[in-house]
């Protein structure tokens, strides 16, 4: 089997430990982290965000070690500077209107073009890269992989609150991001030439200046030899991030295996997959999704068991059985959104929800 190396990017909230509001760290965390973590930490468009990225990991065990190291390092640096960090798809009550934009020509240009859609894009995601050098193969797997994006998204749901309100969604983050152009589930591209013609046309007609401004839920990365899954909220805990990463890697490996056996997974229309994405956003793991093959609704939890069955024959070779089976623990304990809502239900206090987010973010780093 191919190696299917991994890379993980997580976006963290920078929080004032007194008010529990999002706060600008004025790039102090990035500057300090740069002394030890080199290029692994960077600023984002909003000054209350810090993004981290692992090195290229050969397997899931390496990925776990990297995420533990990054969460602990960033948390320690933040505490020393008088801040805290949190991993959740949205902040429970901070208003985007009060947040500062990082001075940077690229961000200035995005804000100038996208206006309030950019300024209000105060969200925090998880991006997982799986190494595939052959871009045509990566595109083939991307087409099939789109079907599973709502499943992965449901497991990651971790943004039930927005600007002080319970939104009624398990993940409101995607509702915020939907306002951007070139987001969501991508369409199908028949081959690499088809995809490259699309990108070139957008560049030529000044829709984008480079293909990084295609922000789909999954994409063949424009500059790295990877397939990148971008649909997920940043999860509360390290265990959840690693489980979702292991599931993504296993799905890629399984779809590759089918292709080598001359078997193709059915490729579904974007309009159908969007129905399941909506359900994942609204209900997380507690709703139903559509089984397009059977043409009926099935409980999302039952589909998760089917997902584990589907990837069962590749996980031992990848060394990730324990990690993918943690999916059942998520089903039992609830996603980040479920647990945030439970804290709110008990306390009726969103600052207590922020305290819970901060505590869960560094769970397992000591």
How do residues 135-169 score in pLDDT, each as one tens digit?
999 999 999 999 999 999 999 999 999 999 999 99
Per-residue confidence band for 26, with pLDDT thresholds at 50, 70 and 90: confident
What confidence score (pLDDT) does residue 50 get?
96
Tell which residue, 353, 333, 332, 365, has the closest CA to residue 161. Answer: 353
- Does pLDDT of 310 surpass 80? yes
Per-residue confidence band for 1, with pLDDT thresholds at 50, 70 and 90: low
Tell which residue, 234, 237, 260, 249, has the closest CA to residue 320. Answer: 249
Mean pLDDT, the chain, rounded, equals: 95
CB 111 within 8 Å of CB 101: yes
Q: Is residue 37 part of a domain?
A: yes
Helices (H), the chain: 28-37, 60-80, 105-114, 116-119, 135-145, 149-156, 173-177, 192-204, 238-260, 270-283, 300-318, 321-325, 327-333, 336-347, 350-361
Instruction: List Cα–Cα distances, 84 to 15, 16, 39, 142, 161, in angstroms.
Output: 5, 6, 21, 36, 19
* Owner of token pair 């994006």: 149
Return d(Cα 234, Cα 90) in angstroms, integer. 9
Model pLDDT for residues 319-332, shown as the tens digit of each residue: 999 999 999 999 99
- Token couple for 181: 């152009």
Question: Which of 58-62, 117-121, 168-172, 312-316 has the weakest average pLDDT?
Answer: 117-121
Class of residue 21 by CB neighbours under 10 A (exposed 0-12, middle 13-18, buried 19+): middle
Domain of 124?
Answer: 6-361
Model pLDDT for residues 105-130, shown as the tens digit of each residue: 888 888 888 898 888 888 999 999 99
Q: Is residue 1 part of a domain?
A: no
What confidence score (pLDDT) does residue 119 get?
84
- Is-above-0.85 flag for pTM? yes
Q: Is residue 366 part of a domain?
A: no
Return the bridge partners of 296, or none. Answer: 291
Give the CATH number, domain containing residue 260: 3.30.590.20
Q: Is residue 280 part of a domain?
A: yes
What is the count of structural domains for the chain? 1
């Amino acid at each position: 089997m191919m190696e299917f190396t991994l890379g993980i990017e997580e976006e963290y909230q920078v929080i004032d430990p007194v008010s529990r509001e999002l706060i600008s760290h004025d790039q102090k965390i990035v500057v300090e982290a740069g002394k030890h973590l080199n290029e692994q930490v960077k600023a984002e468009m909003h000054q209350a965000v810090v993004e981290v990225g692992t090195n290229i990991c050969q397997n899931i065990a390496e990925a776990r070690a990297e995420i533990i190291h990054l969460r602990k390092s960033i948390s320690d640096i933040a505490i020393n500077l008088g801040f805290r960090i949190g991993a959740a798809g949205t902040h429970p009550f901070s208003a985007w209107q009060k947040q500062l934009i990082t001075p940077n020509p690229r961000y200035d240009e995005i804000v100038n073009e996208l206006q309030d859609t950019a300024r209000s894009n105060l969200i925090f995601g998880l991006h997982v890269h799986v190494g595939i050098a052959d871009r045509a193969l990566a595109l083939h797997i991307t087409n099939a992989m789109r079907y599973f994006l709502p499943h992965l998204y449901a497991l990651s749901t971790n943004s039930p609150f927005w600007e002080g309100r319970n939104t009624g969604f398990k993940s409101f983050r995607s509702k915020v991001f939907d306002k951007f152009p070139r987001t969501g589930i991508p369409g199908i591209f028949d081959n690499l030439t088809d995809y490259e013609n699309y990108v070139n046309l957008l560049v030529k007609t000044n829709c984008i200046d480079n293909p990084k401004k295609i922000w789909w839920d999954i994409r063949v990365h424009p500059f790295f030899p990877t397939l990148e899954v971008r649909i997920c909220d940043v999860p509360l805990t390290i265990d959840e991030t690693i489980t979702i990463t292991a599931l993504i890697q296993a799905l890629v490996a399984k779809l590759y295996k089918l292709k080598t056996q001359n078997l193709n997974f059915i490729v579904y229309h974007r309009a159908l997959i969007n129905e399941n994405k909506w359900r994942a956003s609204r209900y997380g793991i507690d709703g139903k999704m559509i089984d397009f093959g059977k043409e009926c609704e099935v409980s999302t939890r039952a589909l998760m068991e089917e997902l584990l069955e589907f990837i069962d024959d590749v996980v031992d070779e990848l060394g990730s059985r324990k990690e993918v089976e943690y999916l059942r623990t998520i089903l039992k304990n609830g996603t980040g959104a479920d647990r945030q809502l439970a804290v709110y239900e008990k306390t009726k206090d969103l600052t207590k929800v922020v305290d819970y987010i901060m505590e869960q973010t560094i769970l397992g780093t000591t």
